[in-house]
A and B are shown apart, each in its own frame.
Chain A
Amino acid sequence: MGARAARGADVTTVPSAGPTRPALGALLRWPVLAVAVGVWESAARARGSVFFPPPSRIVRHAYDLWFSGPVSHLFLTDAAFDTIGPSLGRMATGFVLAAVAGITLGVAIGRSRRAWALCDPVVQFARAVPPPALVPVFVVVLDFGTPMQVASIVFSAVWPILVNTAEGARATDPLRLDVAAVLRLTPAERLRYVILPSALPRVFAGLRLSLSLTLILMVFSELLPGTENGIGFLLTDAQSRSDLLTVWAVLVLLGVLGHLLNTGLLAVERRLLGTGRKT
């Protein structure tokens, strides 16, 4: 794995099956966070600056803004639907499109030595460009609005998925390909029963990287003019009104959102890959 990991930041190692002692892991997870929040709270209160409100006020404000709605709306306010909804929609659309394109192209490139040789330089170049730098290009091509935002998300999130899927598909055990040939599987069956399952750990490594990029690009593309809603829009809007409390609330919301999405993806990965599987 060492040599491959060195190829670039987009390529990560596959995590091990999970903590051996989950109870200990959970126990160790919270104290540092609790201490950090505690220090933040007391420091912010001692200082009393309007620019650095204490976390208790930030959380209270976030609650008032988004989570004090009626039960029928799962406690979400209308503002939450107007802000978080469009952002999540863009993220989901971008992520799904990136996953479909990345996995499809990745398998194709990974399974064909010729396609690999042809595409590798292009891929290495395209993924080396910092994704936010491409947003102006999409603004020119697609004008402001959701299509531009989704395109920015897709174009940045597709590379880690593509590269990892290609590496995973390429590394399919040659003996397993012999087995597929001897069992006379059709190309579709070979893909479904041999190549995709072999590549799946790497596919998920790519998906996890892409998910965080998706979040970054979602916010970044919403910071641009021409945006009418979304989390990024709220951020710039609050900033222009010097509403620092809302700015902080948005930051906390983004952190929580990123963590939740990542946890969700990990759960899917565990379910699909199984805990004790050896490949």
Chain B
Amino acid sequence: MLRLDSLSQSYGEHRVLRDVSLSVPDGQLLCVVGPSGCGKSTLLRTIAGLLPVREGAVTIDGTLVTGVPDRLAVVFQDYGRSLLPWLSVRDNVALPLRRQGLRRAERRAEAEHMLERVGLEASARRSPWQLSGGMQQRVAIARALVVRPSLLLMDEPFGSLDARTREDLEDLLLEVHRTDGATIVFVTHDIDESVYLGDRVVVLSAGPDSRVARDLPVGLPAQRDQIATRGLPEFVALRAEVGRAVRAPARAAVLGPADAEPEQAR
């Protein structure tokens, strides 16, 4: 169980997140949506232990997050920079296994197995920059999954891919989620994507000072299909609701006791 308790983050005077409380049960695929600049990435970096917590607390299974937690993996949006171009695809995927004390041959075998899962067994010995964007992001996903994470954080991972590639990777992610059962926090600015992928969608209000504006369960059947699911009336209704919440002005969207504060001149 991942819990955020009244988490606030700021860069100097600039407050990014304010009083964010969330609890994510094990195995849930939570999508976090919000307009750009609303602190989605800050939220993810805080959970990953890359940013120190300013106020509030982040706990995983009751343990306070103070550094990068165990069994955590992150997939970044910028696959080109997140993969190491001086290592082969296979060695990129094998890199996080070093800390598990496996021998080189074991690490490589494990990496190859994971590449097979994302459909890239033929590219193991190539360099990342020789692959297309979608394939590179598959490599990054394989590198994240190879440590068998219990918490997987994804920061707009499909944001810079073309529509078709993105759909394939969304379905790959759903398949991974069904079989591995890891908790996934998936940050996106794409409303459709959030509803299609999520068990639950959390909308952050526009920044600065973002808060949780809406917290919606997704009642769609677990088995999803790019064409059929997106045509369901529930999907359309939910998408509209999320869309309204994302577009709402910062203050009006927020419900809760903090609203009692005097409005500041904007």
Give min CB distance, B114 to chain A, whole Å: 14
The residues of A that contact B84 with a CB separation of less than 8 Å are 176, 179, 193-194, 197
Residue of B nearest to A200 (CB): B86
Are the CB atoms of B99 and A193 closer together than 8 Å? no
Q: A184: which of B76, B85, B87, B99 is its contact (CB, 8 Å)?
A: B99
Are the CB atoms of A175 and B127 closer together than 8 Å? no
Chain A residues numbered 44-83 whose CB sits less than 8 Å from any CB in chain B? none
Give min CB distance, A38 to chain B, whole Å: 46
Are the CB atoms of B76 and A278 closer together than 8 Å? no
Are the CB atoms of B129 and A185 closer together than 8 Å? no
* Residue A3 lies at the interface, judged by CB distance under 8 Å to chain B: no
Chain A residues numbered 158-208 whose CB sits less than 8 Å from any CB in chain B? 173, 175-176, 178-179, 181-186, 189, 193-194, 197
Are the CB atoms of A183 and B85 closer together than 8 Å? no
* Residue B184 lies at the interface, judged by CB distance under 8 Å to chain A: no
* Residue A276 lies at the interface, judged by CB distance under 8 Å to chain B: yes
Determine the distance from Cα of A179 to Cα of B84 in the docked complex, in whole angstroms.
9
The residues of B that contact A197 with a CB separation of less than 8 Å are 84, 86
Are the CB atoms of A278 and B85 closer together than 8 Å? yes
Are the CB atoms of B85 and A175 closer together than 8 Å? no
Determine the distance from Cα of A279 to Cα of B50 in the docked complex, in whole angstroms.
23
Are the CB atoms of B72 and A182 closer together than 8 Å? yes
From known contacts A184-B68, A185-B95, infer whether A278 and B129 are also in contact, taking CB-CB under 8 Å.
Answer: yes
Give min CB distance, B131 to chain A, whole Å: 12
Determine the distance from Cα of A185 to Cα of B99 in the docked complex, in whole angstroms.
7
Size class of the contact patch on chain B: 20 to 34
From known contacts A175-B76, A277-B127, infer whether A181 and B50 are also in contact, taking CB-CB under 8 Å.
Answer: yes
Are the CB atoms of A178 and B95 closer together than 8 Å? no
The residues of B that contact A194 with a CB separation of less than 8 Å are 84
The residues of B that contact A173 with a CB separation of less than 8 Å are 81
Are the CB atoms of B98 and A185 closer together than 8 Å? yes
- Give the number of chain A interface residues (Cβ < 8 Å): 20
Q: A179: which of B76, B85, B86, B127 is its contact (CB, 8 Å)?
A: B76
Give min CB distance, A172 to chain B, whole Å: 11
The residues of A that contact B127 with a CB separation of less than 8 Å are 274, 276-277
Determine the distance from Cα of A183 to Cα of B85 in the docked complex, in whole angstroms.
16
The residues of A that contact B87 with a CB separation of less than 8 Å are 193
Are the CB atoms of B82 and A183 closer together than 8 Å? no
* Residue B242 lies at the interface, judged by CB distance under 8 Å to chain A: no
The residues of B that contact A279 with a CB separation of less than 8 Å are 85
Residue of A nearest to B67 (CB): A181
- Residue among B82, B84, B127 with max Cβ neighbours from chain A (10 Å): B84
Are the CB atoms of A193 and B95 closer together than 8 Å? yes
Residue of B nearest to A176 (CB): B81
Are the CB atoms of B95 and A182 closer together than 8 Å? no
Residue of A nearest to B77 (CB): A175
Are the CB atoms of A182 and B86 closer together than 8 Å? no
Determine the distance from Cα of A141 to Cα of B189 in the docked complex, in whole angstroms.
66
The residues of B that contact A186 with a CB separation of less than 8 Å are 99
* Residue B124 lies at the interface, judged by CB distance under 8 Å to chain A: no
The residues of B that contact A185 with a CB separation of less than 8 Å are 95, 98-99
Chain A residues in the interface with B (C-beta under 8 A): 173, 175-176, 178-179, 181-186, 189, 193-194, 197, 274, 276-279
